[in-house]
């Protein structure tokens, strides 16, 4: 029986998943993400061994919401974690004597949705993760576009007048991420139930999603991440906002991910399994 490990590193929590076939998560452990860079490798080794037991590990894949250097197997400088040039692949390869790969979390999520989720019917779609920050990937024929770096949808510059909020400008992430929602509305997305507030949030979402729809022209935009768990609260308002821009062509479908919060982890176990041929 294969022992495949996926590791989804987040700003506050890290989830380690175990899969026997690379197509689903059979068991998992969630821990607080170590803020001390020196403890990361040691912590991951301990948790992997606890999850896998006495069985050997066949392959490992890691994802994180940060600039990634795949060649050197390291995480560079995340926005949400005080790390710098953290090398992960080589020490885990040495510890478990198996292949280890690393990927951006949005790319891992897009791969999972293409293979096992809402992206399966589409040859060209954008996966956008709205969580603490905003990330994304352009998927074509089940694979991310082979660009030198991951698509940074959250880095779009947007500026608009906003009802009741004054003039807002800056990056899309600064305007519409989970962090931005908590900053401006005084609550996490999960705790917002006011319809008017969700209308405002939907308008913020619409700025970047409209840009993506017009520049990439995908068949669909699939929304993942913690904020997208609440898709039903903003879906109708989002569609109304998008139509107000009077697009030249029909807008792509806007869909919630099938694996809204677990897509990056599922993507990592798939990527790990691919290392085994």
Q: Residue 54 — very low, low, confident or very high, per pLDDT cuts 50/70/90? A: confident
Average pLDDT over residues 139-143: 97
Query: What pLDDT, on the 0 to 100 scale, is given for residue 92?
Result: 97
Average pLDDT over residues 5-24: 95
SS3 letters for 13-32?
EEEEEEECCCCCCCEEEEEE
Please indicate whether residue 16 or residue 169 has the higher confidence score (pLDDT).
16
Average pLDDT over residues 151-169: 72
Average pLDDT over residues 197-204: 96
What are the angstrom distances between the C-alpha of 270 and each of 61, 200, 244, 246, 259? 8, 37, 39, 39, 14
Q: Residue 148 — very low, low, confident or very high, per pLDDT cuts 50/70/90? A: confident
State what percent of residues in the chain have pLDDT above 70. 96
Q: Do 4-104+262-274 and 118-256 come out as alike in CATH topology? A: yes
What are the angstrom distances between the C-alpha of 117 and each of 135, 142, 260? 18, 11, 9
Average pLDDT over residues 246-260: 95
Average pLDDT over residues 92-115: 97
Enclosing H/E stretch for 124: strand 124-130
Average pLDDT over residues 48-73: 93
Question: Residue 163: is its pLDDT beyond 50?
Answer: no
Task: Quickly list DSSP for 209-260.
Answer: HHHHHHHH--SEEEEESTGGGGHHHHHHHHHHHHHTT--SSPPPEEEE-TTT
Distance CA 67, CA 90 (A): 18
Look up the CATH number of domain 118-256.
3.30.420.40
* Residue 174 token pair: 């600064």
Q: What is the pLDDT of residues 213-251, one digit of tens each?
A: 999 999 999 999 999 999 999 999 999 999 999 998 999
Q: What is the pLDDT of residues 61-96, one digit of tens each?
A: 999 998 999 999 999 998 778 999 999 999 999 999
Angle at 87 between CA 83 and CA 91, to 5 degrees: 135
pTM for the complete prediction?
A: 0.93
Angle at 252 between CA 251 and CA 258, to 5 degrees: 145
Nearest to residue 106, comparing CAs of 70, 68, 135, 76? Answer: 135
Query: What pLDDT, on the 0 to 100 scale, is given for residue 162?
Result: 54
Considering only 20-24, 85-89, 105-109, 168-172, which range has the smallest mean pLDDT?
Answer: 168-172
Query: What pLDDT, on the 0 to 100 scale, is given for residue 169?
Result: 67
Q: Going by C-beta distance under 8 Å and a sequence separation of 6 or more, which residues neighbour residue 215? A: none
Please count the other Cβ atoms lying within 10 Å of the Cβ belonging to residue 157: 11
Query: What pLDDT, on the 0 to 100 scale, is given for residue 229?
Result: 95
* Residue 29 token pair: 């452990």
Query: What pLDDT, on the 0 to 100 scale, is given for residue 166?
Result: 56
- The residue extents of the domains of the chain are 4-104+262-274, 118-256
Question: What is 4-104+262-274's CATH number, 3.40.50.880, 3.30.420.40, 3.40.50.11890, 3.40.50.1360?
Answer: 3.30.420.40
Give the CA radius of gyration of the chain.
19
Question: Residue 125: is its pLDDT beyond 90?
Answer: yes
Burial of 117 (0-12, 13-18, 19+ CB in 10 A): buried
Considering only 63-77, 108-122, 146-160, 259-273, which range has the smallest mean pLDDT?
Answer: 146-160
Cα 39 to chain center, whole Å? 24
Q: Going by C-beta distance under 8 Å and a sequence separation of 6 or more, which residues neighbour residue 47? A: 16, 29, 31
Average pLDDT over residues 18-38: 96
Cα 238 to chain center, whole Å? 20
């Amino acid at each position: 029986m294969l022992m495949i490990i996926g590791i989804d590193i987040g700003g506050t929590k890290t989830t380690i998943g175990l899969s026997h076939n690379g197509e689903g998560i059979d068991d998992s452990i969630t821990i607080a993400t170590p803020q001390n860079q020196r403890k990361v490798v040691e912590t991951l080794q301990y948790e992997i061994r606890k999850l896998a037991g006495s069985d050997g590990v066949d392959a490992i894949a890691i994802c994180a919401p940060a600039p990634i250097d795949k060649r050197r197997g390291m995480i560079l400088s995340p926005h949400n974690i005080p790390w710098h040039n953290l090398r992960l692949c080589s020490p885990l390869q040495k510890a478990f004597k198996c292949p280890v790969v690393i990927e951006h979390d949005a790319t891992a999520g897009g791969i999972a949705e293409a293979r096992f989720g809402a992206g399966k019917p589409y040859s060209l779609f954008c996966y956008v993760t709205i969580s603490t920050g905003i990330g994304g990937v352009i998927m074509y024929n089940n694979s991310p576009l082979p660009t030198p770096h991951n698509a940074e949808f959250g880095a779009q510059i947007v500026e608009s007048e906003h009802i009741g909020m004054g003039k807002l400008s800056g990056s899309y992430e600064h305007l519409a991420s989970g962090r931005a929602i908590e900053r401006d509305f005084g609550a996490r997305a999960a705790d917002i139930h006011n319809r008017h507030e969700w209308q405002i949030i939907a308008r913020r979402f619409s700025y970047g999603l409209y840009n993506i729809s017009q520049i990439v022209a995908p068949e669909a935009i699939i929304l993942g991440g913690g904020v997208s768990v609440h898709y039903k609260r903003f879906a109708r308002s989002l569609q109304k906002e998008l139509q107000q821009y009077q697009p030249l062509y029909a807008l792509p479908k806007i869909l919630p991910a099938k694996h809204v919060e677990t897509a990056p982890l599922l993507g990592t176990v798939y990527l790990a399994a691919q290392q085994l041929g």
